Structure 1
Amino acid sequence: MKKTRFKNKSSIVLYFLKGSAIFFVLAILVSFCVTFLELIGPKIVQYTIDNCISGAAAEDSGSVPDYILFLMDRLGGKEYLGAHLYLVAELVAVIAVLTALFRYLFRVINSIAAEKLIKRMRDKLFEHIMHLPFSWHGENHTGDIIQRCTSDVDTIKMFISEQLLSLFRIMIRIAVAMHFMIRINGELTIASAVFIPIIVLYSCFFHNRISTGFEKADNEEGRLSATAQENLTGVRVVRAFGREAYEREKFEKQNYEYTNLWISLMKTLAAFWASNDFISGFQVMLITVLGAVYCVNGSITVGEYVAFVFYNSMLTWPVRALGRIISEMSKAGVSIDRLRYIMNSEEEKDVENAKKPPMDQDITFENVSFVYDNGSEDVLDNVSFKIKAGTTFGILGGTGSGKSTLMYLMDRLYDLPKDGGRILIGDTDIIDIKRSHLRENIGFVLQEPFLFSRTLSENIGITQKEKNEKEIREAAKIAALDETIESFGQGYETYVGERGVTLSGGQKQRTAIAQMLVSDPPIMVFDDSLSAVDTQTDARIRKALSENKGTSTVILISHRITTLMQADNILVLDHGKVSEVGSHEELLNNNGIYKRIFDIQMQGT
């Protein structure tokens, strides 16, 4: 049974926070200092008005904390400060400077924490995705994966570094402000505090609607990104077939749906924010009026009234922000779940005590059967054959006959089911071989090779730990690519566009062949990788391979008889089953599928 790595949102957030949590804690502590310094200002103003300006009695200062009374006494007391009000102004200025300093420290520490967090998220996501099975990548659109690793990662970073820390700051501010307000007047404090649960409750009411809207918008953004990515990478195909208008309409339709989702979501958010602003504004007005009444009635002093209005105004932003944080929490929750899907996808794993056997051994397929997850019929049905070490082995078959699947299984890009037979290298089942060892020793050249946006030299030598120009040129020569490269203005330093878009199909295939030859693996697989080159170049490459392959086992998959006819043995597949096995001469004498294909291809030559 598959084990869920991250069972809830908090578990994956805590995992990502490793290494940055201490900085976030420091930011919260510094934030507390900022909040405290901001909130003692009104108390100093209150003391100054009631004791220094209006000359209230000492016993009327009960709502002023003892530490402020102590500070004021150290500055000279109320009579002295009343005559030297500039000292109070200087004290307020000092507090303002300290507040700015702590606020600066908060921003610096919080920024460090945020960047450490986002770096860890990117690193862990990329590392995990690189170890996910080939089948997983086939089931998930590249554009959607990129969108999750960029937009969703940024959303989580912003929530934790901004909204979540703001939540702590708000709770601290509310708690400290309420403490000061209660000391002034309990009834006014209750009148102010009653709006907080109202805002929280209606924020929760909007929470589910906003969360659903964000989830739909995020999914639609992933589809839009996938559409754009496919069109940008396949721009030559789109233009070659004159499909610009069709693809534009397809993109505009997707963009229209995405835009409408955001418009609908913005309407919900607008209603939420507008009601939030109205309630907050009404609360400020109510407290201002009630406070004035209490002041006129003598329940509070003028200084206490000014301080209370200050505190209430200072609560307006946190209370409003509290509701908005709840709405942002909806968006972050969706993004966390989208990343949790990736991180909970099971990685490829080796069996315990996986081996690293010699790979220059015979390759045996025993009763191999396989069907893809999305298929209803077996791609391979009880396929058995043996490839002698150091020989050249050909595989021929029609489209969908399972030729490439055989090699994907041998390289463990897909794993055989328990009842799907065995593949052995020497006497070792490939299941017991360490994946990295297996793939390092099997060179794979696909029919549609992928080249990176680098120079030809870098692409050919991509498997080298240290660049060796001599080996790169030798590999290019065997792949019949050296003359072509030399004809380019910058030679081996010619920059290759994305996915090799600046090269022809044959040039890309030959570059991929050279790329594989540089690593000099004991097993070389050419999966119809000569289909885009002419017959003369095909023959030249095969001749060079024959002369330079050494003891390597070469597996050729092709539709061309001329490509396979020099192989030591040739396997013919028909609808996933072995039809014939033998040398070129033996298969011609069998008068089977191979002979029929040979006759068709040789006509007119």
Structure 2
Amino acid sequence: MDQHTQKKSSILRFFPFTKGFRGKFLLAFLMVIVAVVANYMTPQVIRVTVDSVINDTPFNLPAFLVEWIESIGGREMLRQHIVICAAVSLVFAVIAGLSNYSSRMSLARACEGTVARVRDTLFAHIQRLPYAWHNSHQTGDIIQRCTQDVELIRNFVSDQLMEVVRTVLLIVVSLAMMFSLNGELSLLVCCFVPVLMVSNLVFFVITGKKFQAADESEGRLTAFVQENLTGVRVVRAFGRERYEIDRFNEKNEEFTNYWVRLSTVMGFNWGLGDFLAGFQVLVILVAGVFFVERGALTEGEFLAFTAYNSMLVWPSRNLGRLLAELSKTSISATRLFEILDAPEERSKPNALRPPMDGDIVFDQVNFGYNQSEGGVLHDVSFTIRAGSTFGILGATGSGKSTLMYLLDRLYQLPKENGKITIGGVDIQDIDLSYLRKNIGIVLQEPFLFSKSFRESIADGAPRADLETVRHYARMAVIDDAITGFAQGYETPIGERGVTISGGQKQRVAIARMLMQDTPIKVFDDSLSAVDMETDQKIRQSIRKNVHGTTILIAHRITTLMNADQILVLDHGRVSQLGTHQQLIAQEGIYKRIYEMQGASGSGDEA
């Protein structure tokens, strides 16, 4: 994304999110105008009171107002009832107050609705981003963007957006009113306005870069905290508390230093602005007295002019603060649109939904996660017969899991890198959602959401009654363990399943996958944390009760030996392919692992 697009994205690209709320934004804008006009009437009331009620200067008002004043008794009546002038000021104050209230209420409704839509769009978009995108971005940084950066935008829209409108109106109206009173003195005021504007713009550019550095530092800090809290058991197990505290302090100090430097710049900006504003007020007071002595300005006009000058000083100063907020918002918006501009996973137009119970064919598949690290799979070809059990064996890093990621299209296989078909249909032509709904995968390190056992096993399944849940739990040999808890299937399993063992997590994940009843089932080393006896029971249960194509990835020969066919991978290449009996009769990796694990004497007839 180029710099011009980034700048544009800061504000303008949020406009589509305001659809349905633009009427409320417009009402808030109009109410701000009414409030500003009402506030600027008070100095005019003071001018008329001093010059034309207390003194004898003719009323300098529109003709219809002069006629109305004469009709109610004229100057003498107002002198005797000076409280009427105060009442008029009060009326304008009430109008300004009600207008401000209406503006705030309309803006709040519009702002919260708009920001809620931003959050919804952001979360939905992240759900549809490719698995590869998630792997290349830290979770903590994503969370920081979706919370802190969205909150900065919400604060700008709710608190600063109308302030921008108000500030511009105050500057324009103040100058207009001052020029209507005295042009020469107004030109003197105008000499200060460009100086304040230029200083604010210079600091806007300087603080923009510093805000970005601070925001990115906060993202790294958030990512570190998220990772540390997720791995708290590892930290405790290895006694790494002191080490992790030192790492946190280092990142926290970096983040703090960014904000200290930023605050130093902003403090200098505010100090300079306050000096210029105070100097402006002093100069206008001295010059105004000189103009009054010359007779070029009445006492009432002088009071009104100094009031308008004071009203001008604050918006001119406030503009610097608004530009600083705009700078922060621009950085946050850019970070959000870096997510929203990331391309989503999409199926091809007119994507197919074929039967998923056919043969699975890998045809000359080559794949690497990135070019700098070389390929993971090299010219891999094999066929998994429909309804069969297919085993995959290989050392760590040989590409076993990568095969399943490609089958489920968690990573996209380029056209020139081979082809994967199910029932003769290229998986690239199959509707993505349909494909994944028909492939169940249990990973070696399964993720369990913070729910009860019953909710976790039934997650996403069409039926969620307890008896059905227990049926699949028994198939995964986890029913007895769950019923042993005091709350049974209603027992919360904690965030990421921290309250249960690794083997129990794997079995809950197996039950969850089996309950989806998909035609293709993948067990990616998902029995590694269970003991041999439980492993055998699960395999027996699955073989008796589960239908469809089953793919087993494992390091244990006993887990794979009863598969219809077994594929052996070696550094991303097909090393051997055959049945258990065929492979142990050949010299190779399979036989060597079989002898190392002592499977020949295990007596496993499962």
TM range (shorter): over 0.9
1:316-372 deviations in whole A, cap 9, x for unaligned?
211111122122222111111111111111111111110111111111110011011
Say which SS state the counterpart of residue 380 (structure 2) adopts: strand
1:170 is aligned to 2:171? no
* Deviation for aligned residue 1:15: 3.0
Aligned to 2:495: 498
* 1:594 alignment partner in structure 2: 590
Q: Distance in 2 between matches of 1:201 and 1:65?
A: 38
CA-based RMSD: 1.9
Matched residue, 2:8: 8
The TM-score, its normalising length taken from structure 1, stands at: 0.96
CA distance in structure 1 between the aligned counterparts of 2:46 and 2:53, rounded to whole angstroms: 10
Hey, what does 2:22 align to over in structure 1? 21
Alignment equivalent of 1:287, drawn from 284, 287, 290: 284
Identify which of 292, 295, 317 aligns with 1:320: 317
Q: Structure 1: any 5+ residue segments left out of the alignment? A: none
> Number of paired residues?
599
CA distance in 2, matches of 1:388, 1:5: 51
User: What's the secondary structure of 2:356's corresponding residue?
Assistant: coil
Contact 1:233–1:498 (Cα < 8 Å) also in 2: no
Q: Which moved more, 1:511-520 or 1:369-378?
A: 369-378
Q: Do structure 1's residue 584 and structure 2's residue 585 form an aligned pair?
A: no
Which of 264, 270, 275 is residue 272 of structure 2 equivalent to? 275
How far the C-alpha of 1:412 sits from its partner, in A, is 0.2
Q: Would the aligned equivalents of 1:459 and 1:515 in 2 still touch at CA under 8 Å?
A: yes
CA contact (8 A) 2:472 2:514 kept: yes
2:440 aligned partner: 443
Question: Counterparts of 1:74 and 1:132 in 2: how far apart (Å)?
Answer: 74
Cα distance change, pair 6–252 in 1 and its aligned pair in 2 (3 A): closer
**Secondary structure, in 3 states, of the residue corresponding to 1:443?**
strand
What letter matches 1:229 in structure 2? Q
Q: Secondary structure at the match of 1:194?
A: helix
Q: Check the 8 A contact 2:204/2:320 in 1, yes or no.
A: no
How do 1:90-489 and structure 2 match up within 5 A?
90-373=87-370, 375-465=372-462, 467-489=464-486
Once the two structures are TM-superposed, the CA of residue 75 in structure 1 deviates from its matched residue by 5.3
Contact persistence 2:399–2:569 (CA under 8 A)? yes
Question: Counterparts of 2:70 and 2:331 in 1: how far apart (Å)?
Answer: 55
SS in 1 for 2:470: helix
Post-superposition offset of 1:22: 3.0
Q: CA–CA distance in 1 between the matches of 2:485 and 2:345?
A: 41
Pair 1:69–1:277, CA change in 2 (3 A): farther
**TM-score, normalization by structure 2:** 0.96
CA distance in 2, matches of 1:65, 1:288: 28
Higher mean displacement: 71-80 or 225-234: 71-80
Q: Counterpart of 2:500 in 1: which secondary structure? A: coil
Q: Deviations over 1:297-316 (max 9, x none)?
A: 21111111111111111112
Q: Structure 1 stretch 320-329 or stretch 32-41: which is displaced more?
A: 320-329
Instruction: Compute the displacement of 1:68 (Å).
Output: 5.4
Does the 8 Å contact 1:44/1:68 carry over to 2?
no
Q: Distance in 2 between matches of 1:371 and 1:306?
A: 77
C-alpha displacement at 1:386, in angstroms? 0.6
Identity of aligned residues (%): 47
In structure 1, what is the Cα distance between the partners aligned to 2:155 and 2:64?
Answer: 37
**How far is the alpha carbon of 1:192 from its aligned partner?**
1.7
Q: Alpha carbons of 1:386 and 1:588: their partners in 2 closer, same or farther (altered >3 Å)? A: same
Judged with a 3 Å threshold, the aligned counterparts in structure 2 of structure 1 residues 71 and 312 are, in CA distance, closer, same or farther, namely farther
Residue equivalent to 2:32:
31
- Could you give the per-residue CA deviations for residues 39-62 of structure 1, whole angstroms, max 9, x where no partner exists? 01111111111111112234xx2x
- Give a deviation string over 1:532-560, Cα, whole Å, max 9, x none: 0001010111111111112x111000000
Change (3 A) 1:91 1:548: same
Paired AA for residue 202 in structure 1: S
CA contact (8 A) 2:153 2:329 kept: yes
Give the Cα–Cα distance (whole angstroms) in 1 for the partners of residues 62 and 393 of structure 2: 90
Q: Report the alpha carbon displacement of residue 473 of structure 1 after superposing the two structures with TM.
A: 1.1
How has the CA–CA distance of structure 1 residues 193 and 423 changed in structure 2, closer, same or farther, with 3 Å as cutoff?
same
**CA–CA distance in structure 2, aligned partners of residues 252 and 350 of structure 1:** 45
Post-superposition offset of 1:77:
3.1
- Give the CA deviation at 1:162: 2.3
What is residue 53 of structure 1 aligned with on the other side?
54
CA distance in 2: counterparts of 1:573 and 1:134, whole angstroms:
24
